[in-house]
Amino acid sequence: MAASAPAGGPSRNVCVFADAEVDRSPTGSGVTTRMALRHACGLVDSGEACVFESITGARFGASVNGPAVLSGHHAVTVRVSGRAHYSGRARWLLEPGDEIGRGFLLR
């Protein structure tokens, strides 16, 4: 994917999570969200690519593929590319009767 950057270069960011831990990459979920927001605000069109860079210099490219519907809401699908490395493993369980564990929507 040929990705363009806004004037002045890639969009730079840092992802802080948990107990003030910092992700070394721009994060796929963060890049996806930022592209969806840019598209909703009319800042990028479908097929237009952008570059996102973390404070470590790691870069991800992304583009909006097109419209989608998610649970009755207007949405978009986003393609993210970059390089990541396997760094751990987690196992998540959903106990019977845990209704919040199935997800919820903030409004």
CATH of domain 11-85: 3.10.310.10
Question: pLDDT tens digit string along 1-31?
Answer: 444 455 556 788 888 888 888 888 888 888 9
* Confidence category of residue 32, pLDDT binned at 50, 70, 90: very high
**CA gap 106, 44 in Å, rounded:** 25
Q: Is the pLDDT of residue 35 over 80?
A: yes
pLDDT of 2 reads: 44
Question: pLDDT tens digit string along 88-104?
Answer: 889 989 999 998 888 88
**CA gap 43, 5 in Å, rounded:** 12
SS3 17: strand
pLDDT of 7 reads: 53
pLDDT of 1 reads: 43
Work out the average pLDDT over 56-84: 92
Nearest to 52 by CA among 33, 71, 73: 33
